[in-house]
Structure 1
Amino acid sequence: MTKRMIIMLVLVTVVFGGIFGMQYMGKKGMNAYFDNMPVPPAAITTTRTLQQTWQTQIEAPGSITAVNGTTLTSEAGGLVTAILFESGKKVKKGDLLVQLDSADERAELARLQAQLDLSQLNSKRREKLYGLEAISKSDVDTSRSEVLSAKAAVESQRAKLAQKDIRAPFDGTVGIRQVNLGEYLPPGGPIVTLQSLDPVDIDFDLPDQRVGQVEPGFPVSVTTEAFPDRSFKGEVLAIEPRVDPATRNFKVRARVPNPDLMLRPGQFGKVRLDLPVSQNVVVIPRTAIDYSAYGNAVYVVHKKKQDPNAKPAEPMPGAPPPTDLEVTQRFVKTGPVRGDFIAILDGLKEGEEIATSGLLKLRNGQPVIVNNDVTSKPVAEPTPPQG
């Protein structure tokens, strides 16, 4: 009985050992198969790095201002008796825009003019009497002083009367009027804005590291969100000689012709300032950059290192054709951007082949297939298609 039990235990052990052994060998073989299975290649487009000569440029945000711009107000108060302009229209320097009631001022001017006339007559009479030695020299001097005082009073009243007529101080375009006929306009009350729109100025700040690099006359170009496809050309007009100690920036003002009146005071503008200095840089398309939290990288395409002792892999049914190319990720230091190109300050050399599309499928050692049949050519100054 004991012998039979031992034999049965041995048989059970052999059977279960064989089963577990077969499972172990199957898993080991499957893992070895997947470990040695070739990685399918990814299809990408590529380009070679170029060396270009770029003119040094500075970009900065700016604010557009009018060469002359103000809100017209009244020095004197009074009822509005005439409005002689239309909102949004152009006006010339000296054009009469608004008239205030000036009846009292005119009456006072007439009274003062009459006093002036009388004082002038009295002065002439006293001159004659003085010639006849009928009066003293002090009486003549008094009469002359009275004439001068009367003239000053008349001129002062004429100035007060002129304040009742609001005129354009310069050529420009008026905004929306803020007064109505019959309305009482207090002293300093706003009437309308007046802006000179051609040309316009744009003010922008530069860091103090740029002191001495910018001079009046340097060309600038301005783009706005309202007209992103159009660039407005101008030149540097003036440079603030003082650096702001709070921001360590200095202010620059450029002047831009605006014959179409497309630029308006208060608009935000992006300024590009061209410096008369050029440099040679290695450039690549912007699509070739893989941006990540660890830094900017590119995938460099090169041939695989072949093991002379390795056996060639047998092609699998339905698998893509074999390739001898692979990619290596390389971190780079990027620089300024020009259109579709970006400058590489460190990490690449001229002539290296890099991937420009399909970056999400790539990793170090990834085999790739290059297909450049359908690819767009990057340009430094892209323009949108017309029509």
Structure 2
Amino acid sequence: MSATRSPRAGGGLVAALACLVLLSACSRDETAAPAAARPVQVVTITPSTFREALVLSGDIQARTDVDLAFRIDGRVVERPVAVGDRVSPGQLVARLDSANEEKAMKAAKAAVVAARADVTTTRSAFERQQALMSEGFTTRPLYERALRAKEAAQAHLDEAEAQLDAAADRLRFTELRADSGGVVTARGVEIGEVVRPGRMVVRIARDDGRDAVFDAPPQALRSGGGDSVIRLSLAADPGVSAKGRVREIAPEADPVTRTFRVRVGIEDPPEPMRLGATVKGAFDVMSSVVVAIPPAALTASRAGPAVWVVDPATSTVSLRPVDVQHFDTHGVIVSQGLDPGDVVVAAGAQALHPGQQVRAIGMTKAASAEPAPRQTLAREAGREPNG
């Protein structure tokens, strides 16, 4: 009896051999050498302070403006100065009708003459009573009456002299004179008007210095205050320049524009920087500590901007979100997300994936944290900003 092979048994053998072949292939794949690390350029993060040149527009104003006014009321009969005129200390700028004050002055002088005569008479009477009292030829009541009369006459004389001084002051107050040199920038009365005390007659910009006045945004106030030098230039002629220092900052912002009034004292202002001229000022704005990375290092994730950070222990990369504060052609300023000493992929980050091994082939120079100056129009001369 001859042996025969079953077809089913042959098929099982073939399947077993196929399984062995597949298992052998998988084993070879598992023992294959890992992929080579991807070469990239890296940069080490170092903190820096972000510096920005903020250019504002303002105008030239006098450091001190003085409103001259009369101390008494009266009718203006003379005003020899006009807007734009230069005045010197003590120069007459306005005069009131002084007829009433001159009459009061004459009456006060007459009262002083009469009081002095009364003092002379009572003093002589007292001296006689004093001599008689020493010899015993008068009584004590007569002596005391003469003494009281002398003292009353002296008091009346003192009062009359005080009234004379007040009348002289009122007569002097009818003339309004400049207390310092400067330029007349405004007038408040005309000849023939009746003015009350304290009303502005003329406004004088004193010659004690000039200020460049700006309406600055809040970030400009981080420039260091009076220790920082502000670079000033004339808008109509940039070749005319000067230096200044912040002299005064408004304590609160304007309710409409949300800017702060900043007065910059000009050191040795050139003649072309006249009152009212438009001027530009460059403020160095310093921010908090930030880091700068090359533009090629920035990529994107689902959460927003991100960078590839290299783990020094394993040479693998991971994607980390960052907060970008400022974009510039020279670099990207990052405010949050990176720590000093972090190694960031600066070039070759296009085809990376989390956990991939990399090999540093060079260090890229860190980007600058000082972008190019940008201009911000704060206030044109004679026109407030509209926000």
Query: Taking structure 1 as the reference length, what is the TM-score of the superposition?
Result: 0.50
Larger Rg: 2
Query: Taking structure 2 as the reference length, what is the TM-score of the superposition?
Result: 0.50
Q: Which protein, 1 or 2, shows the higher relative CO under an 8 Å CA cutoff with sep ≥ 6?
A: 2
